[in-house]
Amino acid sequence: MSDKVPSRASVARRILRGPRPEAVPALIGRACALVGILDIAAGVFPRFRHSRMHALAEVLPGALGPFAAALSLSVGVLLLLLAHGLKRRKRRAWRAAVALLPAGAVAQFAYRHSVIGVLISLALLVPLLRHRGEFAALPDPRSRWRALANFVLMGAGSLALGLVVVSVHPKRTIGDPSVADRLTHVLYGLFGIEGPVNYQGSTSWTVACSLGALGLLTAITTIYLAFRPEHPAARLTEADEARLRALLAKHGGRDSLGHFALRRDKAVVFSPSGKAAVTYRVVSGVMLASGDPIGDVEAWPGAIERFMDEARAHSWTPAVMGCSETGGEVWTRETGLDALELGDEAVVDVADFSLAGRAMRNVRQMVKRIERAGYETRVRRIRDLGEGELERIRRAAEDWRGTDTERGFSMALGRIGDPADGDCLIATAHRVDGPPDGNPHRAAAGDGRAEDQPGPYGDLKAILHFVPWGGDGVSLDLMRRDRTADPGMNELLIVAALQAAPKLGITRISLNFAMFRSALARGEKIGAGPVLRAWRGLLVFLSRWFQIESLYKFNAKFRPRWEPRFVVYRASGDLPRIGFAAMQAEGFVNLALPLPRFLRRRSATAARPCAHGMAERDIRAA
């Protein structure tokens, strides 16, 4: 008999892959959703009351009279809203369900005197009360904007459901009201006012009560969200940032994405020893980390354990985007999570880079053509720029952003020119000879005075920003260019950065991240099988909207070495949710209500990048 004590990793695997503790809350959540759907159907559809399914609905919370139909509809909507929170083990969702089910049962008994309905309703409470310890997850980050979002979504849902309520009584409707009349009736009914549509018998009361219940439900939930205490999203504090910078100073050369941990819209957990950390952001219930943990590799397990503890405390779905092979091995070993190759990072070794040779002919010709057109480049550290020029670069980067939505999370810093980021590298392209409009009144090369130059930013035409990668490397943060600049600005600045690197003590430069690079490369080779060719065809099709094939081909121009990057996840069923959360974090999907552009406040950190790359417009221009 072995007396070997099971390791923490083996225990974690049994927890995560064995009979998972989320199973009971998930079943209760599904049952809650089923009850909600049946209650809504019982309150809305007259024929449902005479179907076989109605036999089940009879013993659920809610009743079928004029007032009881409204109650059934309200309870059903609320239970549907609570179902997701119950699946995620949220304590507040459990409290609301425990209060809602008995209230519906009491109302049903008072109106219909249904003892069976009361018993079944109370029976639904048994698993909730018995497993109350499972529902201990803390609230998600929230703000007052949730109230506005709730008003918009619930209002739209109430309009749609109200239109169904008004339209499902064709035999009881007097006359033939138009769609506009029905919509008007719904709008009036949400505010408790009688509309233009009339019905025979008690149907008018049933419809009026149902519409009034929907309007009241929208108002109550919006008011609750507006006046509940805020639980703001975590931010990187000054103390946390100082600790992270200290770790990066010692171990920053290990991961090219390490410096992006200093984004100030991320939160951080440290290992018990303080020698390692994991930064993350919570998006749609997904606790999304990026890159490898920061700090000493031997202390990574402690930081990862703290990360997983935080995920369990809030019932967040843990995920890691873009970790290296070493990072993926540590994450999977310590937590029992799985890893999937996401793509490849393009890394160029400065010593091996040269414009000579047939393979570099296209890049070489493009760079020479642009230089002959009168462009020059400057590659400097941020600390070497004057404040006036730095502010001009910030404004240009903001205005040249290809989309209204700010993009970037895992491979973007989110700012330019912060005093603490003096080691960042910036490469700029300037039109110093023969401006497009032929204006002879231009500043001399190197002057950089905006007031003497054509356009709001003078001779500045393109920007590349790099963050430190240890003491001898940099990692690409953003690419921005003027719309009027000649094509090829990105190639020009990358070549300039590579040529200036030796003087700056830089031996390696990390370029863009290419998703599914290996599938694209293998799928176009001779002998590729039908599955691989079909997968490549799908990626090429998706490249119309996402930077997949174009970014891979752009990176390949510089003959880089490819470093694989991985996504770490708990279960394959979580991948769609993780992918959607990652797209939200990167700015490709925006569910918020942005302010108009002219109302956005400008600040010193206004220029935020797209994710470790460039806008699609810049790639095509390249």
Residues 59-116: pLDDT tens digits? 444 444 556 666 667 777 787 778 878 887 888 888 888 887 777 666 656 555 556 6
First to last CA, the chain: 67
> Can you give the pLDDT at residue 319?
94
> Can you give the pLDDT at residue 614?
43
Q: Which pLDDT tens digit goes with each residue over 304-324?
A: 999 999 998 888 899 999 999
Query: Which comes out higher in pLDDT, residue 386 or 133?
Result: 386
For residue 476, pLDDT beyond 60: yes
Model confidence, pTM: 0.69
Range 216-239 average pLDDT: 72
Lowest mean pLDDT among 99-103, 355-359, 390-394: 99-103
Q: Which of 495, 498, 521 is nearest to 509 (CA)?
A: 498
Q: Which pLDDT tens digit goes with each residue over 153-172?
A: 888 888 888 888 888 888 88
Name the band, by pLDDT with cuts 50, 70 and 90, for residue 229: low
For residue 303, pLDDT beyond 90: yes
Q: Which CATH number fits domain 353-434+458-511: 3.40.50.300, 3.90.110.10, 3.40.630.30, 3.40.980.10?
A: 3.40.630.30
For residue 596, pLDDT beyond 70: no
Range 292-301 average pLDDT: 94
Range 328-334 average pLDDT: 94
Quote the mean pLDDT of the chain. 78
Neighbours of 67 (CB within 10 A): 16
Lowest mean pLDDT among 226-235, 421-430, 471-480: 226-235
For residue 10, pLDDT beyond 70: no
In the chain, % of residues over pLDDT 90: 28
For residue 379, pLDDT beyond 90: yes
> Can you give the pLDDT at residue 203?
78
Asked whether the CA dihedral 269, 274, 277, 279 is positive or negative, the reply is positive
For residue 273, pLDDT beyond 70: yes
DSSP string, 168-234: S-TTTB-S---HHHHHHHHHHHHTT---S--BSTTHHHHHHHHHHHHHHHHHHHHHHHHHSPPBPPP
Name the band, by pLDDT with cuts 50, 70 and 90, for residue 451: very low
Bridge-partner residues for 280, per DSSP?
267, 289
> Can you give the pLDDT at residue 366?
92
- Which segment, 39-48, 404-413, 565-574, is predicted with the most confidence on average? 565-574
Q: Which pLDDT tens digit goes with each residue over 547-589?
A: 777 888 888 899 999 999 999 999 888 899 898 888 888 876 6
Contacts with 426 (C-beta within 8 Å, 6 or more apart), sequence order: 379, 380, 381, 382, 385, 393, 416, 463, 464, 465, 466
Is-contact 470 507, C-beta < 8 A?
A: no
Query: Which comes out higher in pLDDT, residue 131 or 3?
Result: 131
Q: Which two tokens stand for residue 465?
A: 């920003």
